[in-house]
Amino acid sequence: MSFFRIFIILVVCLAAGGSSAAWRPETIRVAVVKGGDTLQLDGTGVLLTDTRGEPLRIEMPIEVKRAGSRITANGVTISGLVASAPIRIDVNGKGYRGIVEVTSGDRGLLVVNELPIEDYLIGLINCEISSAWPLEAVKAQAVIARSYAIYQKNARRGAPYQLESSVMDQVYEGCDIEDSRAARAVQETAGEVLTYDDKVIQAFYHSNCGGHTENSRNVWGMSLPYLRGVPCRYCLDANPMRWDLKLPLKKVEVALRAAGYQVGGLKDIRVQSRNESGRVQELAVYGSRGRIAVSGVAFRKAIGYGVLKSTNFEIRMAGDEALISGTGSGHGVGLCQWGAKQRAADGFDYQEILSYYYPGVKLAKGYGQ
Ligand SMILES: [Zn+2]
């Protein structure tokens, strides 16, 4: 080992107060931009290399353009760009900590932000909930987001990135919305994750269950002992989420056909069965060629997760429209964020909140630091 490397390790060690757990924080790779042909990078004290680690001397700000399987940075063609800065790097005006990598992906520019998991969590809190919520709810959010990130990191080792920055995984918009309460919740739960049988759990969560959380089997066909569904009147107290939706049958037909269902002349949709949480298990869809069965989960996916907020709904026909009224928002599996908020306001601590929504789990320390 060269003197230089020993020197670097010593400096990093001293900067971290000499703690062996903290001097090499576990990192996570998050896809923060997928698509588009141009973007702008900016920042102060930014170190730049190409993807092989060769230093680049390009002035900030940098206009990045896609050029086939390569990119150009202020007109210079390179394989890709790796940027790191002591504080933050701006990508299209949004700040990110750690390292930012820009390459040409299948569907446009791909920007991956690699950063310590604990820093990622501080940025994430105000994307998923509000740090102004009771602190025990914010701490519960920190623990489940950390558990989710570490589970996915292990599951997607070797992939170009391990997390999406959208509701597909966890919403993450960089460091601009960090604040001291989010940082406090992350620090007070530092390195804590939920485990079952000594393995980090798939800590799914959602916005508002509407009265009962969902068994993972009903959504993904995957039975997990800690994702079985529990009653939750708490979100009804905190934020009773009722919604109504009017969908032209023609539009529903187009959406179902796009999802692969052979339906024509759609004239009626009825709830055929509900599961134990009250959500729609199966719909009967009547068209000119008879009846087909569509699961509630597949129906929501076809219509759009943002349009049909949950599978907890009633449906009736009015002329050439379907009138849908429902409750809750999200898939319903795992922790209910609005329910957790109310439970924290009722005086439960974050461990009690977590063990309610994930029965049988344990809180383990020492991960992701
Ligand atoms: Zn709930």
Contact between residue 227 and residue 358 where contact means Cβ atoms under 8 Å apart: yes
Ligand 1 mean position to 337 CA, how many Å?
7
CA distance 153 to 146: 10
Strand pairing class (335-336; 205-206): parallel
Say how many Å lie between the CA of residue 101 and the centre of ligand 1. 38
pLDDT at 219: 95
Q: For residue 151, what is the enclosing H or E element?
A: helix 135-155
Round the CA-based radius of gyration of the chain to a whole number and report it: 23
How many angstroms does the Cα of residue 320 sit away from the middle of ligand 1? Answer: 33
Residue 128 phi/psi, 5-degree rounding, is -90, -45
Q: How would you write the pLDDT of the chain (369 residues) with one tens digit per residue?
A: 444 444 344 333 334 433 444 456 899 999 999 999 999 999 999 999 999 999 999 999 999 999 999 999 999 999 999 999 989 999 999 999 999 999 999 899 999 999 999 999 999 999 999 999 999 999 999 999 999 999 999 999 999 999 999 988 899 999 999 999 999 999 999 999 999 999 999 999 999 999 999 999 999 999 999 999 999 999 999 888 999 999 999 999 999 999 999 999 999 999 999 999 999 999 999 999 899 999 999 999 999 999 999 999 999 999 999 999 999 999 999 999 999 999 999 999 999 999 999 999 999 998 765
Element (H, E) at 219: helix 216-220
HEC assignment per residue over 176-192: CCCCHHHHHHHHHCCCC
How many Å lie between the centroid of ligand 1 and the Cα of residue 45?
46
Cα 232 to averaged position of ligand 1 atoms, centre (Å): 5
User: In angstroms, how far is CA 358 from the centroid of its own chain?
Assistant: 18
pTM for the structure as a whole: 0.88
Q: What is the pLDDT of residue 8?
A: 40
Q: Are 116 and 338 in contact (CB under 8 A)?
A: no
Which among 81, 79, 96 has a CA at the least distance from the CA of 29?
96
Q: Return the pLDDT at 24.
A: 64
User: Secondary structure of the chain: what % helix, strand, coil (to 5)?
Assistant: 25, 35, 40
Non-local CB neighbours of 175 within 8 Å, separated by 6+ positions: 88, 95, 96, 97, 119, 122, 123
- Residue 327 Cα to ligand 1 midpoint, Å, equals 10
**Cα distance between residue 240 and residue 242, in whole Å:** 6
Phi then psi for residue 14, to 5 deg, are: -70, -40
pLDDT of residue 171: 92
228 CA distance to ligand 1 middle (Å): 14
| Cα separation, 125 vs 171, whole angstroms | 9
Q: How far is the CA of 166 from the centre of ligand 1 (A)?
A: 21
Q: How many CB atoms lie within 10 A of CB 266?
A: 24
Looking at residue 369, what is its pLDDT? 58
H or E segment and range at residue 172: none
Distance in angstroms (rounded) separating the CA atoms of residues 53 and 3: 20
Strand 89-91 with 94-96, pairing: antiparallel
Residues with CB under 5 A from ligand 1 (ion): 209, 232, 235, 336, 339
How far, in Å, from the CA of 70 to the mean position of ligand 1? 47
User: Do residues 169 and 144 touch, judged by C-beta distance below 8 A?
Assistant: no
Compute the distance from residue 329 Cα to the ligand 1 centre, in Å: 9
The H or E element spanning position 256 is helix 249-258
Output the CA 185–ligand 1 centroid distance in Å.
Answer: 21
Q: How far is the CA of 144 from the centre of ligand 1 (A)?
A: 16
- CA 227 to centroid of ligand 1, rounded, Å: 14
| CA within 13 Å, CB half, 129 | 32
CA pair distance 254, 225, nearest whole angstrom: 37
Domain ranges of the chain: 26-115, 118-236+332-364, 242-327
Residue 367: the pLDDT is 79
